[in-house]
Structure formats: C-alpha cells, structure tokens
Amino acid sequence: MTLHESKPSSFPDFGRLLGDPPSSASASAARPVRPARALYEQVEIGPLRIDGTTVEDCFDRLARVAAPEPWTVHGRDETWLLREYVEQTYERLHAQRRVAVAADGSRSVFDTGLVTTEDATVYGLCLPGVSADGAPWALQGWVAEGDPRIADHFPEPPGRADYAADPSELVYDWRHPLVVHPRALLDNRESVAVLPGELRTNPYLAGLVMEGAVRRAEERARRDPRWAVPAWDPAAEKVRLLLPLALSAPDSVDVALVTALDGQVYRGTAILALDVARARARLVSRLADWIAA
C-alpha cells in the first residue's frame, strides 16, 4: 500500500455521484420522498409509507415475498434499503432494456434480482396504467417464477440486471497495490461528515487514524479477497470495491473506503457511510458480514 499526504484524486466523488446525503437524521429528512428515477416515471407503485398515507406499501409486501434479508438500516426508515435497491435495480434494467413487455402489450415484468425461500426468482408484474397523464404501467404485485401470469405471456424470462462486464471486476486482486491520499479524502466535506466522533473535528488525527485503518484493510483483503465488497456506482456505471475501515475500535467497522482500479493500482477515491455502502453493495450481490452488520 502507498499512502500519500496530499494529491487530488482524478476520480469523481463516489458518494456525491450517488446522490445520497451523509447518514444523519437531518440529512435523511431532507431527502426527496420520490427521487427522479425510472421506476417512478415508468410505474405507478401506489402510496408509500414514507408519504404518510399508508401503513403498508409495495416494499413491505416485497419483503414478505422474497427470502429474508437484513434490510433494516440504523437511522433510516424501515424500507429505505429495500426501496433503494428496487429503485436502482429498475434504473439499471431500464437502461439495459431488460424490462420485458408481453407481445400483446397486456403486461410488463422485471426481474427484481431477489428470490423466494425456495430460490424462485421474484418479478415485478405490471399492467397498463389507467391514467392518461400518469406512468405507462401500474404495479400489480410481486410474483415468483412459474406463475402463469408471467409464464403464459413470456416464452423467455426477462433478464436480470448485470453490473460487471468481466467477473474479475468483482474480486480484489492482491497483485495491485492500494494507493490512498488521506488528506485529499478528508478535504471532502461529505467524507468528513461520516467519520466517527472527534475525528470529524480533528483532521490531523483523522488522517493518522485513517492511515492505520487503510493498512489493516488492505492486509485483510490480501489474506481474504472477500473483505473487498463490490458496489455499484450508478453515475460512473462502474463497479467499485469497498474496504472496511475500523477507525474507532479494532473490532468495529465505521465507514467504507471506495477503491477503483486505475491501471495497475487501486486508488482510494472516497469514504462512504455504511448505509450508503450497503445500498450500493446490495445491488451487486448479497451483503458480506462486515457491511450487513
């Protein structure tokens, strides 16, 4: 690993590109209820709990249909992580033209990327919208593969979203050194805001602590590449690898370091709060222990 005192990164700010604010009560409250994403433009999904108009919404129902996962995130509402997952999954499917429409135009379906407890793929089933000036489709429900409402209308199941052109993008390659510029990372206010305790107000101490945490994270990834978790960057449309940084105690994980392969080295490009890291990582695969805790 190479640690540099200060050098601006050539990579854009991963956290800022994601459009997610730092994890805090005030930042969460300021987040738009329905962001400008393809899901809401293309599908009428009904009232949401966060709108304050219902006690249960489509995401609650999806959580019951799909196999159980740790969707709860501290400091966020109960369906935030699952909602982010579905929004971004649909965004990717829409961009890849993988939202399937029946030949007779009677319905559309999309692969959520989730499965039931019996490993059956869960699809979102949509029927034509009823409002002329609304979304073209309306969510009918979440159904498992083999359901005649899908099987009878689609000879081939719709494709799932994919994020990596090459499987090697998903795995940490220990042959490439990790280069990190702590001061450049800490010059970013969004990165500083997710640091624990006094590190937010003491940049010098934060830099020293980060140096040690980065060394330990790299050693962990060298011993076991599964410590590096792939995550999707929707703005750059690339997979990044996240490494756990223990800044407050050896047995804790406080934030995630975003790394990007640049030629023959990995570069640390940003620091993410764990809630945002979980949302981006879950798009690519089920969550590793350190990021799901």
pLDDT band of residue 11 (cuts 50, 70, 90) is: very low
**DSSP-derived 3-state class of residue 81:** helix
Give 67-109 pLDDT, tens digit per residue.
999 999 988 988 999 999 999 999 999 999 999 999 999 999 9
What is this structure's pTM?
0.85
What pLDDT was estimated at residue 180? Answer: 95
Q: Which two tokens stand for residue 135?
A: 């979304």
Rounded to the nearest 5°, which phi and psi values hold at 245? -115, 120
Mean pLDDT of 21-43: 64
% of the chain at pLDDT higher than 70: 88
Min mean pLDDT across 20-24, 57-61, 90-94 is at: 20-24
Strands (E) in the chain, as ranges, are 2-3, 43-44, 100-101, 108-115, 121-128, 137-144, 178-180, 229-233, 238-245, 255-262, 265-273
Which sign, positive or negative, has the C-alpha torsion 17, 19, 25, 30? Answer: positive
- State how far the Cα of 46 lies from the Cα of 36, in Å rounded to an integer: 16
CA proximity to 41, closest of 162, 159, 126: 126
CA proximity to 1, closest of 210, 251, 237, 250: 210
The residue with greater pLDDT, 21 or 99, is: 99
What pLDDT was estimated at residue 26? Answer: 40
Mean pLDDT of 189-198: 91
Give 47-56 pLDDT, tens digit per residue.
998 888 788 9
- State how far the Cα of 210 lies from the Cα of 217, in Å rounded to an integer: 10
